[in-house]
Amino acid sequence: MSTEIHTVGRREQLRDFLRARRAGLTPEDVGMPAAGRRRTPGLRREEVAVLAGVGVSWYTWLEQGRDIRVSPEVLDAVGRALRLTEPERAHLYLLAGLNPPPRVGGARGGSVTPELRRLLDAWMPRPAILRDRYWNLVVINEATRMVFGYDDTDHNCLNSFFTNARYRGMHPQWAAIAPAVVAAYRSDAAHAPDDPEFRRVVDGLSAVSPEFAELWARQEVGPPAQAMKAVRHPEAGDLFFDVTTLTVADRPDWYLELYNPVT
């Protein structure tokens, strides 16, 4: 019952969203002649259908929120016709019941704001990590290097977990938590099953780590790894941290991991 209500509500939102975006455009905005007087502002449904290369009836059904099958390719065509921004395009996907596409230009292509850098530096002497959706390291502070053993050769958290000998040696429970780490990565990857970057990380690590390849083949899926991190530092001894992961508001594909010592 609740699922049905949720579906109806989403269709109503889809209808209102498409109507509003259509009403906000003029023929001149999309390079079409403005023929005849218009009783209502904005593009006509027929004009959106022509711009998107879809049938008028199909687009009408989409805008009416009918239960029809949609594909990412068609939604992208509608998005281009309506001149949707990237956040609007992701919103359209969600309302249509599909996973939003990856943001154009991943974390590697973006720049870290001075505010984020200051936050990581201000978290000293506690570790702080800024990573992307693929667990690539975007920025780490100096405490992360000193406490967890990261160096300039570490570019991905998952890869370092399996291949950085110093990092592994500092985790007395490494073998016990490794399955949960892999299961958490599979869970993240499942949100974008067609994203080739996840496959690149998995294939690359599988080629150099039989342990990872064996765990990945188990097909286990789980929530993000433990909320507490324990390490055995060669100089400071046993260290325990509470881990809080925050999503960066204007970069939802970036995650800030803050480590707070447990005393």
pTM: 0.67
Which stretches of 115-170 are assigned E, i.e. beta strand?
Answer: 128-132, 137-140
Q: Is 100 inside a domain boundary?
A: no
Check whether residue 47 and residue 111 sit in a common domain: no
Check whether residue 143 and residue 209 sit in a common domain: yes
Check whether residue 234 and residue 128 sit in a common domain: yes
Q: Is 30 inside a domain boundary?
A: yes
Query: Which of these three, 66, 95, 124, is where a domain ends?
Result: 95
Check whether residue 116 and residue 240 sit in a common domain: yes
pLDDT band at 34 (very low <50, low <70, confident <90, very high): low
Q: Is 200 inside a domain boundary?
A: yes
Tell me the mean pLDDT in the region 98-108: 58
Predicted pLDDT at 68: 80
SS3 at position 153? coil
CA geometry: angle at 259 spanning 254 and 263, to 5°? 165
CATH code of 26's domain = 1.10.260.40
Tell me the mean pLDDT in the region 44-68: 89
pLDDT band at 36 (very low <50, low <70, confident <90, very high): low
Q: Which of 3-7, 48-52, 182-186, 189-193 has the lowest mean pLDDT?
A: 3-7
Tell me the mean pLDDT in the region 61-82: 88
Q: Is 84 inside a domain boundary?
A: yes
CATH code of 238's domain = 3.30.450.180
Check whether residue 141 and residue 44 sit in a common domain: no
Backbone angles phi, psi at 259, to 5 degrees: -110, 125
Question: In total, how many domains does the chain have?
Answer: 2
Query: Which of these three, 95, 118, 148, is where a domain ends?
Result: 95
How many angstroms separate the Cα of 218 from the Cα of each of 100, 185, 189, 204?
Answer: 27, 13, 15, 18
Check whether residue 91 and residue 111 sit in a common domain: no
Check whether residue 131 and residue 238 sit in a common domain: yes
Q: Is 118 inside a domain boundary?
A: yes
Q: What is the pLDDT of residues 180-234, one digit of tens each?
A: 999 999 999 988 877 899 999 999 999 999 999 999 999 999 876 556 788 888 8
Tell me the mean pLDDT in the region 8-14: 83
Domain limits at 182? 107-261
Tell me the mean pLDDT in the region 123-133: 95
Check whether residue 88 and residue 121 sit in a common domain: no
Neighbours of 148 (CB within 10 A): 24
Q: Which residues pair with 241 in a beta bridge?
A: 229, 261
SS3 at position 248? strand
Judged by phi (left if over 0) then psi (alpha if -120 to 50, else beta), residue 88 lies in alpha
Check whether residue 229 and residue 132 sit in a common domain: yes
Q: Is 239 inside a domain boundary?
A: yes
Check whether residue 125 and residue 31 sit in a common domain: no
Query: Which of these three, 67, 95, 123, is where a domain ends?
Result: 95
Tell me the mean pLDDT in the region 114-126: 94
CA geometry: angle at 100 spanning 224 and 23, to 5°? 145
Predicted pLDDT at 103: 59
Check whether residue 80 and residue 169 sit in a common domain: no
* Structure tokens, 101: 């596409």
pLDDT band at 100 (very low <50, low <70, confident <90, very high): confident
Q: Is 101 inside a domain boundary?
A: no
Q: Is 6 inside a domain boundary?
A: yes
pLDDT band at 6 (very low <50, low <70, confident <90, very high): very low
- Please give the mean pLDDT across all residues of the chain: 86
